[in-house]
Amino acid sequence: MTVTYQLDGAGVARVRMDDGKANVLGDASCTRLREAMARAAEDRAAALVLEGRDGMFSGGIDREVLRDDDAVRRAATLAHIAHTLLAVWTAPIPTVAAVTGHAIAGGAILAMACDRRIGVGGSFKLGVNESMLGMVLPTWAMAIIEGTVPTAHRTEVMLMGCLFDPAGAARVGILDEVVAADGFDDAVREAATGLAEVPTRAYAGNKRMLRGARAEVAAALVAAEMGPGFAKDARTR
């Protein structure tokens, strides 16, 4: 996957994912995402926007990772993915997901790891369909989803494995808002610059208080939960 980085004049880092296909998450793509986040920290970016390309935010974990016969390598890659999404969720600066296409499974969780999620209207699907794939969500994924989706919608999102159009995703809390294509860029820019106005130390400290303890527990369980038994049923499909 190509991950591009650009810092605009307002101090907002724009990180764009594009592999020309489904923007799947694997070892290389997560390394590049972590590098982009590190660069944003070095540049003292005031906020970070994470985006895919038109039609595709991310299709989630690469199926080739799940099907890897090397159990040690598979577990290491899955752990890398988990820790990367937790890093997005606990990033000390404001994060905005600019969702211009499908966000499925781990791709939807990546979007939900961002502090604000703005989607564009269109015939796209968003959701966490792991239940329909025979997968049990690990603690780190549950933490991110529970931090985003209101209690009233968690059965629909987390247990039933429903996929939603953008309006439906906004209804259940996966997205914060859906904007028409002609106003999308302005909406993302306004969200990022608005969040960037919050004093950095206060934002980072309050996010740490809000998510830090849960993230530490989830991170400690990654090795056990993402080991050889993870997604066993899904790997046979």
Domain boundaries, given as residue ranges, for the chain? 2-194
Beta-strand pair 163-164/116-120: unpaired
**Fold observed for domain 2-194:** 2-enoyl-CoA Hydratase; Chain A, domain 1 (3.90.226)
- Residue 158 has which token pair? 């987390």
Give the position of tokens 């209804």: 171
pLDDT band for position 58 (50/70/90)? very high
Tens-digit pLDDT profile for residues 138-185 = 999 999 999 999 999 999 999 999 999 999 999 999 999 999 999 999
Quick: pLDDT tens for 3-56: 999 999 999 999 999 999 999 999 999 999 999 999 999 999 999 999 999 999
Residue 233 pLDDT: 53
Q: Taking residues 81-89, what's their average pLDDT?
A: 99
Distance, in Å, from the CA atom of 62 to the CA atom of 225, rounded to the nearest integer, reads: 18
pLDDT in tens, 181-237: 999 999 999 999 999 999 999 999 999 999 999 999 999 999 999 988 786 655 444
Mean pLDDT, residues 114-118 taken together: 99
pLDDT at 222: 97
| This prediction's pTM | 0.96
**What six digits make up the tokens of 214?**
């849960």
* pLDDT score, position 89: 99
